[in-house]
Structure 1
Amino acid sequence: MKLTRTKQHELPAGVLGLASTPDGAQVYAACMDGTVHAVEMATGKKEKFEATHTSYASGCVLLPDGKTLISAGYDGRLIWHDVTTRKAIREVKAHEFWSWEMALSPDGKYVASVTGQYLPGGWKYEPAAETEPGVRIYDTASGALVASYSHTPPVLSCAFSPDSRHLAAGNMMGEVRVWDVQAKDGKPVAQWSTPDFTSWGTTKSHHYSGGIYGLAFSPDGNAVVGCGMGPMGDPMAGNGKMTWQRWDWRAGRKIDQIKDGQHGSGLMEALAWHPDGKYFLMAGRQAQGTWNVAVFSAADGSLVSSLDSKSRLTNARFTADGKGMVASVITGAGKVKPGHWEPMGRVQTYSVEA
């Protein structure tokens, strides 16, 4: 499988959240200046939504009817936007801290958001207990709270199963929990931990860092893939091993992981399964190595293809037909022009060839 970039359009600030129509023709971007934009990929025409977040806009999802977009931000708010008028419909204060990531159930009924601040809870610098639920689920039609789940903060990633029945969430300490959305007891139906996504700083600064920054259920619903960065001695360097692991989530058992020699170093934060279920993509930012975007075989986990996009990919989505991919990007700071910085955000499209 080969990826080739076909389109790229600039946005004023780095893009942290991405949603798109099934064909990838219309893309929605949540940006670090708190704004949310609609971008027509064929022409590059951009329109800003009326409501903005007071801090980073960290995520956005498009409901299946294509009429409503929901965004999340570091201000802890979820905002419902009318796609046609670009005006706000509803606002919900979901968290007292940041919304790290959000996810939409495939049936469009639920939106999940995860939060949590890393504060030392003891002399070993283990995370302190949460001050609010780490995971919350809302009804997309009414904005009503559906469920709140406990998880050790910070909770960095979440994903719904293909049947919309289960929600998985991963945290900084490499722990994944899975809940049955229809259950009323709020207890996880599965959970497991791995040390391969967490670092303890041994130089310069002593604290935990890292975590599972991306999660995705396989199309058949039987496995979960998580991505992030492997352990490193200096948490400020950002040069841990690019890594992913795949688990049988019901058993909490590791099935596979990235192969030795097929990775560089850097933080991986984007995961996407190809619609045919035979491949998955992982992307992020590169510290050392030859790639920051790669495709892997679902059959044996081997590296199929890779590329160096020369920038940080924060999200990736395959089109419904599997022939294209859309991505959100944060570039380097660039040069200061009179009165403003150069644009740091990008949305991109890629062709996908067998």
Structure 2
Amino acid sequence: MTRRPEKQPAVLDAEQDPVTTPQPCKADGADPTQTHLARELTHDRPLICCAFDPTGRFVFAGSEDLTVRRWDLLAQEPPAIPFVAHESWVFDLAFTPDGCTLLSAGGDGCLIWWSAATEGEPTPTRKIEAHAGWVRGVTVSLDGTLAASCGNDRRVKIWSIDDGLLLHDLQGAHDKPVYAVGFHPDGESLVSADLEGRIVVWEVSSGLMQHRLDASSLYSYNGGQQVDYGGVRDLAFSPSGDRLACAGLLNATNPLGAVNDPAVVFFDWLRGEQIALLKAQGGLKGVAWGIRCHPDGFLVVAVGGSGGGHLLFYRPDQPDEEFHRFSLPNTARSLDLHPDGLHLATAHHDGKLRLSRMQPQSQPAAS
């Protein structure tokens, strides 16, 4: 889960004249009901995850060809620059707040440090065998000093960004693979969430478990197929840190057939209580793979599955149904919000990285 720094991002839209230096943008005017597809960036293999860098100049995606791909959003037709070092699929990406360092998490059990904006051939600056089996998630603290990772080995680890030293190895709290991890905006707590919907809150300084939250509604076990299914697929804090949103699925009547409903469990962080269960309307089938809390207070959810790809928009105080839905051309597998607050990136099974804009098509880009 990528955190955003207090700095000015680059102008994004390809239809504008290209610029050579980042220009300031602002989130004023974000209107989810006007969301439209602004740009498609192409790769030749399915994409798994995506993330904007904190400056807003680049967008990255992890691919099934074992690479990370980078596109320069200031170019009219940017090539998909390959970052090659993983020996398995890349499942998650995170950045230091200055945008200089990218961390990638792979199915090879490795965390890799990269220079995010390198001009030459990208090469790792550090590679760590972080977990036994898949590394499912990676995140960076807002102050840029710590990284946290989680994986199929049911462990959560906290690392020093500067030297890659392991500071805490958090074990024993999860009985199933850990899918998502995120630092609270105050920097004092870390949350990890697993296949069973178990959410553990850790004290960062000591590595001690503080308490648990329950998102088990996102988990099911199918005895006939003998499948554990569901879990927290992504999580996001509100900018103030008073809310936590966890994305996943409900009603997995046929897990192997991907018959399930996307859903989001929404928590009051201070009380440690669930305050809403957000569902898709109209029988939409799929998984809520990605979620972001917009600074204007609404939630954006990326859905992918047998019902196709969609962006769902919710107001947490009106949880009964999404207030807007935008359909995408192909199954969405990941989501990120650009620092300008106007653009969304979605990674797709057809190899496209799609950028959607939350403003009328006739309205000039914010600058």
TM-score range, shorter chain: 0.7 to 0.9
Matched residues in 2 for 1:14 and 1:260: separation?
A: 25
> 2:220 aligns to what SS in structure 1?
strand
Separation (CA, whole Å) in 1 of partners of 2:325 and 2:103: 32
Identify which range, 193-202 or 25-34, moves more after superposition.
Answer: 193-202
Moved over 6 A (4+): none
* 1:48 correspondence with 2:81: yes
Instruction: Give CA-to-partner distance per residue, 1:89-127, whole Å, 9 cap, x none.
Output: 1111100110112222222222221112xxxxxxxxxxx
In 1, the alpha carbon distance for the partners of 2:67 and 2:324 equals: 34
Aligned position for 1:313? 332
Which position in structure 2 is the counterpart of 1:141?
A: 162
Shift of 1:56: 0.5
Q: Is the 8 Å Cα contact of residues 134 and 153 (structure 1) preserved in structure 2?
A: no
Which residue matches 1:28?
60
> Where in structure 2 are there 5+ consecutive unaligned residues?
1-31, 361-367
Measure the CA separation in 2 of the matches of 1:24 and 1:208: 38
Q: Which residue of 1 aligns with 2:93?
A: 60
Task: Decide whether the 8 Å contact of 1:275 with 1:318 is kept in 2.
Answer: no
Preserved contact between residue 324 and residue 349 of structure 1 (Cα < 8 Å)? yes
Change (3 A) 1:93 1:321: same
Instruction: Please point out which of 30, 55, 71 is paired with 2:104.
Output: 71
Does structure 1 retain, via aligned residues, the 8 Å contact 2:198–2:212?
yes
Q: Could you give the per-residue CA deviations for residues 114-150 of structure 1, whole angstroms, max 9, x where no partner exists?
A: 112xxxxxxxxxxxxxxx5511121111111122212
| Alpha carbons 2:85, 2:124 under 8 Å: kept | no
- Counting matched residue pairs gives 321
Cα distance between partner residues in 1 of 2:180 and 2:84: 25
Distance (Å, rounded) in 2 between the aligned partners of 1:78 and 1:323:
30
**3-state SS of 2:59 partner:** strand
Residues 263 and 280 in structure 2, CA contact (< 8 A), matched pair in contact too: no
Alpha-carbon shift at residue 51 of structure 1 (Å)? 3.4
- Which residue of structure 2 aligns with residue 329 of structure 1? 348
Instruction: Quote the residue 2:16 is aligned against.
Output: none
Post-superposition offset of 1:286:
3.2
Per mean C-alpha deviation after superposition, the further-off stretch among 21-30 and 210-219 is 21-30
Residue in 2 aligned with 1:337? none
Deviations 1:136-184 (A, max 9, x none): 12111111112221222211112221222221111111111111211x2
Specify the code of the residue in structure 2 equivalent to 1:328.
Answer: A
Question: What amino acid is aligned across from residue 242 of structure 1 in structure 2?
Answer: P
What is the distance in 2 between the residues matched to 1:326 and 1:209? Answer: 26
Q: Which amino acid aligns with 1:313?
A: A
**Counterpart secondary structure, 1:241:** strand
Give 1:126's aligned residue: none
User: RMSD across aligned C-alpha pairs, in angstroms?
Assistant: 2.1
Q: Percent identity?
A: 23
1:190–1:249 contact (8 Å) kept in structure 2: no
Deviation at 1:262, TM superposition (A): 6.0
Structure 1 residue 228 and structure 2 residue 248: aligned? yes
Residue 300 of structure 1: CA displacement? Answer: 2.7
Determine the C-alpha separation between the residues in 2 that align with 1:294 and 1:260.
8
Q: Normalising to structure 1: TM-score of the pair? A: 0.84
1:353 is aligned to 359
The 8 Å contact of residues 20 and 27 in structure 1, kept in 2 or not, is answered as yes
SS in 1 for 2:217: helix
